[in-house]
Homo-oligomer: A and B are copies of this chain.
């Protein structure tokens, strides 16, 4: 056991490890210790903005009684699902908190408390966001009825921004408070590990929300679609379809609550990684404090920029997408420019610290985010060749559609990983230029938080998708006039496109964050090397790489099984409720039973994949820490690739179908359309269940390893 620190200086960062900030506190325009308070303040500001937007949403007219009735059914179903899900997850959270208490005596009881707090905040943010989203859907439909897309888009975005700023506000204020509590106010051993436990709390909720919600949403979707084909003549969104409400509930619990919890944990993980890494590696150096505060500063900056950006989203021309993206671009630009401030205030003037390097790291993080967004857009939007090609392949049937989507999904995954790899090299180089030994890895961690810093606006845009989709469903079920249905449909298309891009970005940022956490884990367990040429590491690598395949398989099969239960129930209702199958106007489907059955099935189905995700790293860690590091590395690489592949293939199939429905290759009803619908159906569990869940899996497994690092030794 010897010789090399886990961070090699080969790409930079070989300077004197001991340096002192040269300036006395009075010379620094902003006291570094203020940043956590500013984080709490910025988080609170975001929550205020969310509250204001929520009021605006709730004040908008909610349409006819029929529309409200549907909206209420959706909301009740969604809340019923979440209540039951959180009851199950609550048991897990308490058990895990107990385990943390037993195995990590150092931080007792704060580790367990932080874990529970993280879980509660993540779950709470999801619930609040979802309540508003399920109020926004009906109002968006009504707005479309009154003023078309131009009136509906701002309302849907407002609903989305409630979700976005609730999630990011809770996260920033929560982690800011946690930081203050554990490092300043309380006497806590190993405060940074306790903060990591808080991130783990968020991750746990995210895992079950993504898996459970993801299984629910796709099972309901598939169930509702099949009714259309096999059991009766009524269309998918007809109010007499018993599965129709469950389908809409799925959009909420998977698309809003699941995504909210997921992004809460991304943010938390990205924030904690550089803090923990600096605390573990920069001890005794003059810039330790600055390095710990810097990620908080970037997060504060990103939040401010997101808030400003969110005010710029309003349709001015005919290009609705441009209106949405303007906000994001402005937020990214402001964060990039503004980061000069914290870099200078925290690190400025020290003779040996290269400010430019730290500034570059932030720029690289933001640029990688934009590059992945661009790449994802090229592979999932119908303006580019891949989607057009899939649509063209529909002419020769479903098999060629499936193969084209799979091939381009794989290609896009490889390219995305190339972008991520380039970003890592850049951030490592720039970070090494800026700080002494360890600066390269710190740079990677800072790039990760930079990628996540504009989460407020990103989630706002992403959450617009399910709101618009729900609005379209309500418009069809009510039913509203043809014109309104077309408006909500256009909004839904826009939402799908932005959601696909947001997914790619989420996976990319998860990869960088996980990498930073993995390096931090290596430092925490003090491994001199995680050597691929050791059999332990290689076995870990093989098993870790295999796990995302197993996980995806379990989740995809769970969707199929749950969908079957839904189909059985729908068939029963058509058989037993008189007049339902024939479409008699007075026949009423029993939505609640469909919702209940799917809820139970989805919750049971999430147990095995969820449990494996938590148990495997712990079990391997107690056997061999080096094998665990290999396992995490293996899961990171294949998890990222599979998640990208599935998300992008799913997004591309979805948009190829829409392209044909808009009239290409024969339009609706043609053979090409039938083939494209089949491709889209294959893509559903790819892009909305397995892909996003893998995204959480790789982060969670690394965070849990980091939290329990000292117990393994």
Contact = CB atoms under 8 A, between A and B. Distances in A.
Contact of A420 (B3, B400, B542): B542
A518 B421 CA distance: 23
A640 B393 CA distance: 29
Interface in A491-526: 515, 518-519, 522
B535 A408 contact: no
Contacts of A556: 403, 406-407, 410
A553 B418 contact: no
A107 to B, nearest CB: 25
A685 B518 CA distance: 36
Interface in A531-587: 531-539, 541-543, 545-547, 549-550, 552-554, 556-557, 559-560, 567
A151 interface: no
A237 to B, nearest CB: 19
B393 A546 contact: no
A325 interface: no
Contacts of A543: 417-418, 421
Given A398-B678, A641-B638, A678-B399, A410 B549 contact: yes
Number of copies: 2
A230 B411 CA distance: 30
A531 B529 CA distance: 5
B542 A545 contact: no
Contacts of A209: none
Given A397-B678, A529-B529, A532-B530, A549 B641 contact: yes
A538 B535 CA distance: 17
Contact of A414 (B532, B537, B549): B549
Interface stretch (A306-314, A369-377, A447-455, A628-636): A628-636
Given A519-B533, A560-B403, A3 B2 contact: yes
Contact of A542 (B4, B421, B547): B421
Contacts of A408: 553, 557
Interface string A60-84: 0000000000000000000000000
A330 B633 CA distance: 41
A263 B641 CA distance: 29
A700 interface: no
Contact of A425 (B3, B230, B515, B535): B535
A560 B530 contact: no
A402 B682 contact: yes
A11 interface: yes
Contact of A403 (B518, B630, B638, B682): B682
A226 interface: yes
Interface in A663-709: 678, 681-682, 685
Interface residues of A, number: 84
A408 B553 CA distance: 6
Interface string A399-436: 11011101111110111011011001100100000000
A396 interface: yes
B546 A399 contact: no
Given A400-B560, A641-B638, A633 B538 contact: yes
B638 A560 contact: no
A313 B8 CA distance: 59
Nearest to A644: B549
Contact of A8 (B2, B411, B535, B541): B535
A411 B549 contact: yes
A120 interface: no
B539 A425 contact: yes
Contacts of A560: 393, 400, 403-404, 407
Given A7-B533, A560-B403, A637-B638, A549 B413 contact: yes
Contacts of A633: 532, 538, 541
B637 A542 contact: yes
A402 B399 CA distance: 9
Contact of A529 (B533, B536, B539): B533
A165 interface: no
A29 interface: no
A625 to B, nearest CB: 12
Nearest to A428: B535
A645 interface: yes
Given A549-B411, A556-B407, A3 B3 contact: yes
A681 B399 CA distance: 6
Given A424-B539, A637-B638, A641-B549, A522 B529 contact: no
A637 B543 CA distance: 9
A417 B553 contact: no
B400 A398 contact: no
A557 B682 contact: no
A288 interface: no
A533 B529 CA distance: 7
A393 B641 CA distance: 27
A546 B681 contact: no
Given A529-B533, A637-B545, A553 B404 contact: no
A292 to B, nearest CB: 21
A487 to B, nearest CB: 29
Contact of A534 (B8, B226, B538, B685): B8
11 contacts: A6-B533, A10-B535, A10-B536, A399-B681, A399-B682, A407-B560, A409-B553, A417-B545, A529-B529, A542-B637, A678-B678
Interface of A: 2-4, 6-8, 10-11, 226, 229-230, 393, 396-400, 402-404, 406-411, 413-415, 417-418, 420-421, 424-425, 428, 440-441, 444, 515, 518-519, 522, 527, 529-539, 541-543, 545-547, 549-550, 552-554, 556-557, 559-560, 567, 629-630, 633-634, 637-638, 640-641, 645, 678, 681-682, 685
